[in-house]
Structure 1
């Protein structure tokens, strides 16, 4: 270390030998706030998804109860309100189910091809067909897609009656033997096919759900017999379009197409008059 006088001030000079030189290191800062927000955002999306699924389940139960003239309708509504399902959602479900057979609204089907060449059937219920077709066509047009003539997509699907049921058991008791449940389903006249619905891995274990297929005209009759004569709880009963297995389209290998498809379907479902969208995408 050397000291010298420069312009009246003492300056200390330090001589550093090469042996003590070390390279500088760069550390990427840990933006803990960003990571925390990402975690919160992810958890919120997960919670919102679970809440929406719960709400949709109650909506289906209310609509099925009205169609089947189920005496448990008020119990279902009370339970939904306790689980914080908005009153407006409940009222809309009641109105929709009650007017499904009236002349105030009509059910219309539109067909098209979505991103990736996936065949689509768009089901709507409306009191203004011109408004509805304009909204649906506009959505296709914005994605550089077109609505197709009737029958263009229909041959990719089978029209069926679709019923989803559970076989509830009292809390604390052992679940009923699955073979017995399946025997009860087989006993019902009009059942064409059925399968157990496997729940997502991240969902808590509940009573198993079973999807049952029948002829469209037999849907309400089969659902009512399952409920009244065999003790099942009917959570869904509707006319559905099931894609034919040999005509399904796999778009999972292309992320761009998959993302475009999901965004397009999400936009369709946001149209108020759209009640359901069916596709022959491989599940």
Structure 2
């Protein structure tokens, strides 16, 4: 059950992702809208994906009335927005596998912008299925160092968690299936274990270490460009940038 994980490497190392609150809220509103439409309800308690989207919005300090309007709009109670979820796949510099989740009302615009972000930084957009098989959809809850590991592990596994991972720095991750995420999180909070962060995300089965400074720079620029697009919700990769390269990048 215990081990060292580098899954969050690139996500936690990038300090510049989504700095602007307005852009974060725009993405979250779209996520809520799509989830409400998919679940055909404006009630977060009635549909797991909507409940998760609302929880993320509350975590980003979005006003409750804004959240409620997005829920109702998605459910068609205020006039629905015609957003569609599309996932793009491709390869970044150094052959790094990249998944790009989008929510869009204009497919032609979105694919053109995503393709430009790839090609501008030495990557290329692939076909459906080209890299998706390398990733798994997981629920992840992170807990600070110092938490009672044995008690947390017992509570998590009893609640239905798939795995519990202990990092080298003492932090702990609880892994679930997407379907069990909400139930496990609720059970852990009820047991006195509130995660520092929690999300349903995509993780690669195997990571590719990057030791070349130029490749790392291009990859980070590409990911920044993708994440800055209004239609892009999330960007995932199988990159594991070495500590020496990250140190060199930080010194520039």
Which of 95, 99, 108 is matched with 1:117 structurally?
95
Q: Quote the offset at 1:70 in angstroms.
A: 9.0
Distance in 2, matches of 1:273 and 1:194, equals 33
Q: In the alignment, is residue 272 of structure 1 matched against residue 250 of structure 2?
A: no
Which of 138, 162, 179 lines up with 1:192 in the alignment? 162
1:179-204 deviation digits (Å, cap 9, x = unpaired): 22222222212x111224566xxxxx
Equivalent positions of 1:73-222 (< 5 A) are 94=67, 98=71, 102=75, 104=81, 105-160=83-138, 162-166=139-143, 177-189=148-160, 191-196=161-166, 210-222=172-184
Match of 1:282, SS state, is strand
- Name the SS of the counterpart of 1:155 in structure 2: helix
Q: What's the CA shift string for 1:72-91, capped at 9, x where partnerless?
A: x98x67xx5xxxxxxxx668
Which secondary structure does the structure 2 equivalent of 1:250 belong to? strand
Shift of 1:130: 2.6
Q: Look up the match of 1:10.
A: none
Task: Give the TM-score, by structure 1 length.
Answer: 0.56
Give structure 1 stretches of 5+ with no counterpart.
Answer: 1-47, 81-88, 169-174, 200-207
**CA RMSD, 1 decimal:** 4.4
Aligned residues: 202
Contact preservation (8 Å) 2:93, 2:219 = yes
**1:249 lines up with 2:208 in the alignment:** yes
User: Structure 1 210/111 Cα, relative in aligned 2: closer, same or farther at 3 Å?
Assistant: same
C-alpha deviations, 1:205-246, integer Å up to 9, x for none?
xxx75322222222223223323x32332454443221112x
Considering Cα pairs closer than 8 Å and 6+ residues apart, tell me whether 1 or 2 has the greater RCO. 2
Where does structure 2 lack aligned partners over 5 or more consecutive residues? 1-13, 26-31, 33-43, 242-252
Secondary structure at the counterpart of residue 209 of structure 2? coil
Partner-residue secondary structure (3-state), 2:240: coil
